[in-house]
């Protein structure tokens, strides 16, 4: 059951990261990096939830999945804010591959 809970957190993180990468102007940056950061944020936030509540890692915990989604959104937001400061805006060429 622990594996199933971790897998669900990561899936929620990947989905939220994918949606965030579609909503944010990446300025030519690779969207996979934001998706991976969102998955990590989801796992960290859901793990924090289980530590705070003592609920444990189980197959289906709606509140843990909600915390995972919030952590993924926060991770993707922070990632895109940090990356947007370091990506050169002078040579911006929009990607047309996706």
DSSP 8-state class, residue 29:
-
Say how far apart CA 15 and CA 13 lie, in whole Å: 5
The rounded percent of the chain whose pLDDT value lies above 90 is 0
pLDDT at 73 over 80: yes
9 — phi, psi (to 5°)? -60, -45
Which secondary structure element, helix H or strand E, spans residue 36, and what is its range?
Answer: helix 31-53
- Average pLDDT in the 11-20 region? 85
Tokens representing 93 are 């060429």
Residue with tokens 């990096």: 33
| Stated pTM of the model | 0.74
- pLDDT of 20 reads 80
């Amino acid at each position: 059951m622990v594996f199933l809970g971790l897998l669900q957190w990561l899936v929620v993180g990947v989905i939220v990261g994918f949606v965030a990468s579609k909503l944010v102007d990446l300025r030519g940056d690779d969207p996979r990096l934001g998706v991976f950061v969102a998955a990590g944020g989801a796992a960290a936030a859901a793990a924090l939830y289980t530590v705070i509540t003592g609920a444990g890692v189980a197959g289906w915990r709606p509140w843990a999945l909600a915390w995972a989604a919030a952590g993924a959104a926060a991770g993707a937001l922070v990632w895109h804010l940090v990356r947007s400061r370091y990506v050169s805006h002078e040579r911006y060429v929009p990607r047309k591959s996706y």
